[in-house]
Chains A and B, each alone.
Chain A
């Protein structure tokens, strides 16, 4: 076909500008599609922090707070769950499995989590992926500790190393449990979730460590200033034994012994900094637990049952819903990316318009020649539209290929470096919309100079105007 042949020769004649135009379109497409993929990856990795768990149970407080300390390892537990309450729900007919979490200790800034083997058995993340051990074995004995991959990597620990656990969450220990060194028995595979940033031991280990500790301090008179700087934010254990000089009410909340039940202020009304409750070291106390139901249909009624549990104020949240809610509330990061995407689209389209338009406008003289030779509007439009449409289409295809190629080749590197898995996914509606408008703009843009060429006379750029 003559039009295609002419368009092909014309493009080849202006190879470099054509390539530059295609590349500028390709990069703007790649930028948008890339941002969309990162946005998607962020959301997927956030909402995939935990999966397979139907309910997370903790003392009554804010649901975000429960999610933060139990799933993300941020902030302090709001209190304890008694062994009786835990056992009650562990043996509940609607409950298939539970994973207890006892939080409050740390090792060089990383959280120590007391749990059971149920953790290794039932914990799932990112679409149901189970935990796996990269090295060694699960923590079974009281002195065993298993490390998250980041902990092991950063602190350069290997199975067999002895470590000391700190009371509270200071980087430099406020109180080290010097007397009870633990032994690294295993290291978890990388998950890209907060699981990587914690140490795992048995509930017995937690108890053994706190043996004899009452009121949050070692049995011997302490040689440290209570309530020191490092303990301020995460003073779960490191609560000052001396009551702070404040109101009576605060004094009571800062009480040294955690009292179950009615003394606990209800959710929302509680000052989040006042978590100076301690373990009741008489039994195995936990701060929260995860559970899976025997049947999904049981979930709602079980959640209600936990929330209305009489013996102790508890709350249960569905992590999937809570995570989605939380993502929406911290979604300004995503909104930011959306705004960036929007400007990328605008700038990309404008850049494309400019480069296509200048390329086409330079050819008005050529179009005047075609007209003089008897070319009708269909031929003129055909020539220009085929060219600019082809450039836009190539740009779009190369841009998308660039992104998916990069994801394919660098997925592993990005996951290892940033803990962000960018899944290969089909294009979303925003991307299709953008690709559609890029290609459509390419075709429509050819029409403008074509119309101009057709309206204009043979004088067009051919002879200097007198």
Chain B
């Protein structure tokens, strides 16, 4: 199972898409499907914009890709691993090691400093820690510099603005060079200027980390900056709940 890099998960070959969903079915309750996706591909190394109105199942889809939710049927290949065949704890490990997740808001643990928040995934997952090139401290500071939050590392989340909090969250998602970064409307709480600035920093850091970016939003004005755009209602055959 274990490959040369020490990961038990499949390596990401250049041709393997970062995410590939096939005949995916999911519902929170039986009889009310939320997702019926026959095919959805996120090519490795690209930045993909997935849009859809509220309630169309964007967060649910990210939950499946991140391995928090388990599809009822179909295949969910993430970084070469079929999540529908992995157990819960394997999915947790894959997420901890190779994924970065950014929420819409309230991303941070309130009683940990920005530094401790950023380093938390690496401290919880030794394999993610091993992916760091330098020491935890050095890497964190380098990433913080890119995201312009170096001076805020000692601050508690309560002392930060929403924009600063989202950049700390981005740093946490990116530390440890994840193969895939999943962002669930991370800019929706920011004003227009901040939104542009945040996106610019996020793109730059993802490129540096060599991470695929799957970005979800209902706001199509951001679409043009991405390599590729997908509409969830177009690929999701499940009726949208009111």
Q: Interface residues, chain A, CB within 8 Å of chain B?
A: 2, 6, 9-10, 12-14, 365-366, 369-377, 379, 457-459, 461-463, 466
B184 touches A (CB below 8 Å)? yes
Given A366-B110, A372-B68, A375-B96, do A2 and B54 touch, yes or no (CB 8 Å)?
Answer: no
Q: Mark B170-187, 1 if CB is under 8 A from A, else 0.
A: 001000000000001100
Given A369-B108, A369-B109, do A458 and B184 touch, yes or no (CB 8 Å)?
Answer: yes
| In contact, B66 and A373 (Cβ under 8 angstroms) | no
Given A458-B62, A462-B103, do A376 and B92 touch, yes or no (CB 8 Å)?
Answer: yes
A366→B109 CA distance, assembly (Å): 6
Given A369-B109, A458-B66, do A374 and B96 touch, yes or no (CB 8 Å)?
Answer: yes
Please pick, from B68, B99, B125, the residue contacting A457 in the complex, using a CB distance under 8 A. B68
A13→B103 CA distance, assembly (Å): 23
| In contact, A374 and B97 (Cβ under 8 angstroms) | yes
Given A369-B103, A374-B97, A374-B99, do A457 and B109 touch, yes or no (CB 8 Å)?
Answer: no
| In contact, A369 and B107 (Cβ under 8 angstroms) | yes
Contacts of A458 in B (CB 8 A): 59, 62-63, 66, 68, 101, 103, 184
Give the interface size bracket for B toward A. Answer: 35 or more
- Could you tell me the distance in whole angstroms from the C-beta of A458 to the nearest C-beta in chain B? 5
A sample of 12 inter-chain contacts (CB < 8 A) reads A10-B111, A370-B109, A372-B95, A372-B103, A374-B97, A374-B121, A376-B96, A377-B92, A458-B66, A459-B63, A461-B106, A462-B103
A13→B158 CA distance, assembly (Å): 12
- Could you tell me the distance in whole angstroms from the C-beta of A14 to the nearest C-beta in chain B? 8
B200 touches A (CB below 8 Å)? no
| In contact, A9 and B185 (Cβ under 8 angstroms) | no
| In contact, B92 and A375 (Cβ under 8 angstroms) | yes
| In contact, B103 and A379 (Cβ under 8 angstroms) | no
B112 touches A (CB below 8 Å)? yes
- Could you tell me the distance in whole angstroms from the C-beta of A7 to the nearest C-beta in chain B? 10
B105 touches A (CB below 8 Å)? yes
- Could you tell me the distance in whole angstroms from the C-beta of B69 to the nearest C-beta in chain A? 6
Contacts of B89 in A (CB 8 A): 376-377
Given A373-B172, A375-B124, do A463 and B184 touch, yes or no (CB 8 Å)?
Answer: yes
Known: A372-B68, A458-B66. 4 other contacts (CB 8 A): A373-B101, A374-B92, A374-B121, A461-B106
| In contact, B54 and A466 (Cβ under 8 angstroms) | yes
Interface majority SS on B: helix, strand, loop or mixed? mixed
B123 touches A (CB below 8 Å)? yes
Given A369-B107, A463-B185, do A457 and B92 touch, yes or no (CB 8 Å)?
Answer: no
Contacts of A370 in B (CB 8 A): 109
B153 touches A (CB below 8 Å)? no
Contacts of A6 in B (CB 8 A): 112
| In contact, A457 and B96 (Cβ under 8 angstroms) | no
| In contact, B112 and A457 (Cβ under 8 angstroms) | no
A373→B105 CA distance, assembly (Å): 15
Q: Interface residues, chain B, CB within 8 Å of chain A?
A: 54-55, 59-60, 62-63, 66, 68-69, 88-89, 92-93, 95-97, 99, 101, 103-112, 120-121, 123-125, 128, 172, 184-185
Can you name the residue of chain B whose Cβ is closest to the Cβ of A373?
Answer: B121
| In contact, A12 and B111 (Cβ under 8 angstroms) | yes
Given A379-B124, A458-B59, A463-B59, do A372 and B110 touch, yes or no (CB 8 Å)?
Answer: no
Contacts of A376 in B (CB 8 A): 88-89, 92-93, 96
Can you name the residue of chain B whose Cβ is closest to the Cβ of A375?
Answer: B124
A462→B128 CA distance, assembly (Å): 25
| In contact, B111 and A13 (Cβ under 8 angstroms) | yes
- Could you tell me the distance in whole angstroms from the C-beta of B7 to the nearest C-beta in chain A? 13
Given A458-B66, A458-B184, A462-B106, do A374 and B124 touch, yes or no (CB 8 Å)?
Answer: yes
Contacts of B101 in A (CB 8 A): 372-373, 458
Please pick, from B60, B95, B105, B111, the residue contacting A374 in the complex, using a CB distance under 8 A. B95
| In contact, B59 and A459 (Cβ under 8 angstroms) | yes
- Could you tell me the distance in whole angstroms from the C-beta of B146 to the nearest C-beta in chain A? 20
A247→B46 CA distance, assembly (Å): 116
What 7 pairs across the A-B complex have the smallest Cβ distances?
A374-B96, A13-B111, A466-B54, A376-B92, A372-B101, A466-B55, A463-B104
Contacts of A459 in B (CB 8 A): 59-60, 63
Pick from B59, B92, B185 the residue with the most CB of A within 10 Å.
B92
A349→B66 CA distance, assembly (Å): 39
Contacts of A12 in B (CB 8 A): 111
Contacts of A372 in B (CB 8 A): 66, 68, 95, 101, 103
Contacts of A374 in B (CB 8 A): 92-93, 95-97, 99, 121, 124-125, 128
| In contact, B97 and A9 (Cβ under 8 angstroms) | no
Can you name the residue of chain B whose Cβ is closest to the Cβ of A466?
Answer: B54
Contacts of B103 in A (CB 8 A): 369, 372, 458, 462-463
Contacts of B88 in A (CB 8 A): 376-377
Contacts of A377 in B (CB 8 A): 88-89, 92
A304→B156 CA distance, assembly (Å): 84
- Could you tell me the distance in whole angstroms from the C-beta of A367 to the nearest C-beta in chain B? 10
A373→B66 CA distance, assembly (Å): 10
Contacts of A375 in B (CB 8 A): 92, 96, 124
A71→B15 CA distance, assembly (Å): 99
Contacts of B128 in A (CB 8 A): 374
Can you name the residue of chain A whose Cβ is closest to the Cβ of B182?
Answer: A372
Contacts of A9 in B (CB 8 A): 111-112
Contacts of A369 in B (CB 8 A): 103, 106-109
A376→B88 CA distance, assembly (Å): 8
- Could you tell me the distance in whole angstroms from the C-beta of B197 to the nearest C-beta in chain A? 22
Contacts of B104 in A (CB 8 A): 462-463
Given A365-B106, A458-B103, A462-B105, do A371 and B111 touch, yes or no (CB 8 Å)?
Answer: no
A369→B157 CA distance, assembly (Å): 14
Can you name the residue of chain B whose Cβ is closest to the Cβ of A366?
Answer: B109
A365→B184 CA distance, assembly (Å): 15
A458→B103 CA distance, assembly (Å): 9
Can you name the residue of chain A whose Cβ is closest to the Cβ of B99?
Answer: A374
A374→B69 CA distance, assembly (Å): 13
Can you name the residue of chain B whose Cβ is closest to the Cβ of A12?
Answer: B111
A375→B124 CA distance, assembly (Å): 7
Contacts of B107 in A (CB 8 A): 369
Pick from B109, B120, B128 the residue with the most CB of A within 10 Å.
B109
Contacts of B110 in A (CB 8 A): 13, 366
A6→B124 CA distance, assembly (Å): 11
